[in-house]
Amino acid sequence: MESSPKIALITGANRGLGLEIARQLGQRHYLVLLGARHEAAGRAAAALLVSEGLRAHYLPLDITLPDSVAQAAATVERDYGRLDVLVNNAVYFTRENQNPSQIAPDLLHHYLNTNFVAQVAVTQACLPLLHRSAAGRIVNMSSSIGSFATMGETLHTTPRLAAATPLGYSASKAALNMFTTLLAKELRLTSIKVNSADPGRTQTDMGGPDAPNTVEYGAKVAVWLACLDEDGPTGGFFAYQKANNW
Ligand SMILES: NC(=O)c1ccc[n+]([C@@H]2O[C@H](COP(=O)([O-])OP(=O)(O)OC[C@H]3O[C@@H](n4cnc5c(N)ncnc54)[C@H](OP(=O)(O)O)[C@@H]3O)[C@@H](O)[C@H]2O)c1
């Protein structure tokens, strides 16, 4: 008889890294729930993975809407009774001016709300379900652009990053990293592990076609952290199988 699969929820899974993380977890025999805010896109992404022989379902989820978050958690509880993996992947990103001297307060608020506050809210809604897993795993999709070390130290050393001053995106990912640190501390006596993942610049709508990493490679760090065994780290910030500077 087939054993019951592990259940993984990936937010923003209708395209980009979220879809590929879902695919790679599906290939590792997880049942994957593809969180997406637009029904047609979510259903199409789930159907694509099903056509590849994977166990995938669309889960309606706009991470910025409290009712949607509550409904998604209730659906997972009703259908599966627990959650083994949560990948906080969905992101807000625009090409608008984010220079610290000029960013509009509304835009800054939008970044912090989607990339930090909403990620915390989704996690809080899923925590009761993750506590019912034998080995819950939370992966927060972060970025070296949210690293104080990288953004500070490269001021004079890395021309591409020296010119990059995206306050909204950077601050939201730095805040997400602090969530990783403090939640891991709070959960240190449980079996749940919490880590931040840095996929590197990846060929998605956000990363652009010239990014160095393929989507297959970019997804690997999140999949690795989602599948950590008992001896694996918690409260860390990682590129694929390598620690990042905070
Ligand atoms: N690509 C890179 O170079 C790179 C580098 C470092 C870190 N990352 C991180 O990796 C993660 C994935 O990035 P990506 O490149 O795959 O981004 P992407 O291609 O722009 O995809 C973003 C995903 O987030 C979803 N989303 C946005 N707002 C949402 C909301 N309110 N509720 C639910 N879903 C929402 C989008 O859905 P819609 O289709 O409905 O818009 C889409 O599925 C992000 O956390 C990003 O910060 C990416």
87 DSSP assignment: E
Q: What is the DSSP string of 26-39?
A: HHTT-EEEEEESSH
User: pLDDT tens across 32-86, in order?
Assistant: 999 999 999 999 999 999 999 999 999 999 999 999 999 999 999 999 999 999 9
Classify 140 as helix, strand or coil.
Answer: strand
Which structural domain, as residue segments, surrounds residue 84? 7-243
Cα 161 to chain centroid, rounded: 23
Residues 152-178 have a mean pLDDT of: 83
Residue 2 domain flag: no
Atom of ligand 1 nearest to the CA of 62: 32
**Domain CATH number, residue 88:** 3.40.50.720
- Work out how many domains the chain is built from and give that number: 1
pLDDT at 32: 99
Structure tokens at 195: 């880590």
Ligand 1 lining (C-beta closer than 6 Å): 11-12, 14-18, 37-38, 41, 61-64, 89-93, 114, 141, 143, 199, 201-202, 204-207, 211
Residues 132-155 have a mean pLDDT of: 92
Helix boundaries (H) for the chain: 16-27, 39-51, 66-80, 105-112, 118-131, 148-153, 159-162, 167-186, 215-226
Q: Angle CA(173)–CA(114)–CA(232) in degrees, nearest 5?
A: 45
Q: Is the pLDDT of residue 239 over 50?
A: yes
| Residue 10 CA to ligand 1 centre (angstroms) | 11
Q: What is the pLDDT of the chain when averaged over all its residues?
A: 95
Q: How far apart are CA 134 and CA 23, in angstroms?
A: 23
> Who contacts 78 (Cβ-Cβ below 8 Å, separation ≥6)?
none
| Residue 96 CA to ligand 1 centre (angstroms) | 16
Residue 141 domain flag: yes
> Who contacts 49 (Cβ-Cβ below 8 Å, separation ≥6)?
19, 22, 23, 26, 32, 34, 56
Q: Is the pLDDT of residue 156 over 80?
A: no
Residue 1 domain flag: no
Question: Which pLDDT band, with edges at 50, 70 and 90, does 1 fall under?
Answer: very low
Probe ligand 1: pick from 15, 39, 91, 169, max atoms within 8 Å of CB? 91
Residue 107 domain flag: yes
Highest average pLDDT, of 22-36, 93-107, 153-167, comes from 22-36
User: pLDDT tens across 195-204, in order?
Assistant: 999 999 999 9
Probe ligand 1: pick from 206, 210, 240, max atoms within 8 Å of CB? 206
Atom of ligand 1 nearest to the CA of 88: 45
Q: Catalytic: 242? A: no
| Residue 13 CA to ligand 1 centre (angstroms) | 8
Find where tokens 């998605």 sit: 204
Q: Is the pLDDT of residue 163 over 80?
A: no
Set 169, 193, 220, 240: catalytic member: 169
| Residue 2 CA to ligand 1 centre (angstroms) | 34
Looking at this protein, which amino acid is placed at residue 73? A
If you take atom 10 of ligand 1, which residue's CA is the nearest one? 141
